[in-house]
Amino acid sequence: MGLGHERASGAGGEQTVTFHWFLPTSGDGHQVGAATVRAGAARHERAATVDYLGQVARAAEESGFDAALTPVGSGCPDPWIVCSAVAQHTARLRLLVAVRAGFALPTLLAQQAEAFQMISGGRLAVNIVTGGDPAEQRAYGDWLDHDARYARTAEYLEVLRLAWSGAPFDYRGEHYRIERGGLLSPLAEVPPVYFGGASPAAEAVAARFADVYLMWGEPPTAIGERVDRIRRLAAAHGRAIRTGLRLHVIARESAEQAWAEADRLLAGMDPDRIAAAQARFARMDSVGQARMAALNAGTTSGLTIAPNLWAGVGLVREGAGTALVGSYAEVAARLDEYAALGVDEFVLSGWPHLEEAYRVGREVLSLTRSGAGADRRPAVGATSPHAGLGTR
C-alpha cells in the first residue's frame, strides 16, 4: 500500500521505505503572490473543514503517500472524530490517528479502533502520545509527572494489545485494573502502533510495545545513533521495530527558490511570537522538545544545522521543528541518507498542505524510488549554495 519501495538496508536484506503526509486539523495557510506562508501556530486562512481536509487527504492519496498523521492536543479537534469523517473522502489512504494515552481507558480505545477499522475498511494506524507539557496535562486533569506518565503509557499499551486479542483477560497494574476485559472477538486487522519520545522512559516503552518508533528531525548522526539504540533495546525484548522520522519539507526546482521560501517563513516570525513560543517550550518536561529547542537556541541565526536541514520552524512550532530545504534532488538525497541510516518511514508536511502534498509526492519522492532519477540526484553530502552548515 502506498509509496513504499525496496532499497538495501544497512543491516543486510531489504528495507521497505514508506512515506506519509500530515493533516492540518487546526487549519492551513495559503500563498498568494509573494505573500508569506506562515509556519506553526499562526494565522490559518483555510479553515479545517471536512471538505478541505478531505482535499488534503485525497492529494496525499493521489501522490502516493501511505497514510496521513493527525495532531492531538488542546488546540486540536478530536482526531477520532475528524479522521472518521476524512476516511469517507478517501479510498486507500490510511489515517494515523493520534491518541493521548491515559485520557480514555485503553479498553475503550480498543473498541474505538474496532469501529474505525469497520467503517474505514481497515485503514487505521494509531499514534500513541504520552504528552510533554505539564501545564496542558493539568488542564486536562492529569497530574502525573514525566516518568509516571510513561509508566502509565506502558500499561496502556499492554492492556490495549490484550484487548485486541479478543480473549477475555484480567489485568492488575498501578494505573489500570481490569476484570474479564477484551473485545468479543479478536480484531481482524490490528492497527500498527506508532510511538515517539526521546527520554529513556519513552525508549523503554517503545522497545516493548511500538511497531514504529517516531523521531523528530535531527542531524543524520544523531538520528543514526537513536535508530541503533532503539533497535538494540527492542532486540533485548525479542522484538524487531521500525523507525520513523517527522520532517517538514521546503522543496523547489532550485535550491535558491527553496531557501528564499525559508527566508520568507523566517521573516513572518515576529520576535515577540518567537519569545513567547520559546518560553512555553522551556516549561515543558519533554526531552524531545528540549532537543528541538537546542537546535535553534531561540535565535534566528545559525539555523542550518546539517546539509539542507533547517531548524527555523522550531522557533515557533511545538514538536517537529526542522525542515529539509533545497532542490527536489537535494531533498530526495537527504531522505535517502536518513533511509540508509535505518529510517524506515517518513512523516512529511509542507505549507500549504494541499499544494505541497502534490509537489512533494510528485517532485521529491519520485526521485527516491529504486534509483529513479539517480543521474540527477546529488551525492550525499554534496554542496550547493545552501547545502552546507551556514549562518541561517
**pLDDT for the residue 52:** 97
What confidence score (pLDDT) does residue 13 get? 58
pLDDT at 392: 39
> What CA–CA distance (Å, rounded) separates 100 from 83?
15
CA distance 39 to 36: 9
Of 373, 277, 293, 275, residue with least CA distance to 330? 373
In this predicted structure, what is the pLDDT of residue 137?
82
* CATH architecture group of domain 5-249+327-370: Alpha-Beta Barrel (3.20)
Helix (H, G, I), strand (E, B) or coil at 144: coil
Mean pLDDT of the chain: 88
121: pLDDT strictly greater than 60: yes
Q: Residue 369: what pLDDT?
A: 60
- 6: three-class secondary structure by DSSP: strand
pLDDT for residue 30: 63
Stretch 270-289: mean pLDDT: 92
Per-residue pLDDT band at 134 (split at 50, 70, 90): confident
- Average pLDDT (324-351) is 97
More confident residue, 156 or 6: 156
Interior angle at CA 77, CA 42 and CA 190, nearest 5:
125
Q: What is the mean pLDDT of residues 176-192?
A: 95
Mean pLDDT of 93-110: 95
* pLDDT tens readout for residues 348-378: 999 999 999 999 999 999 999 633 333 333 3
Q: For residue 126, which of 67, 201, 59 has the smallest C-alpha distance?
A: 67
Q: What percent of the chain stands above pLDDT 90?
A: 79
Amino acid letter at 111?
Answer: Q
The three cell numbers locating residue 105: 481507558
Q: Which three cell numbers stand for residue 277?
A: 513560543
**Residues 6+ away with beta carbon under 8 Å from 200:** none
Whether pLDDT at 124 is above 90: yes
Q: For residue range 150-169, list pLDDT tens digits in order.
A: 999 999 999 999 999 999 99
Q: What is the pTM of this model?
A: 0.89
| Model pLDDT for residues 213-259, shown as the tens digit of each residue | 999 999 999 999 999 999 999 999 999 999 999 999 999 999 999 99
- Output the nine-digit C-alpha cell for 216: 523528530
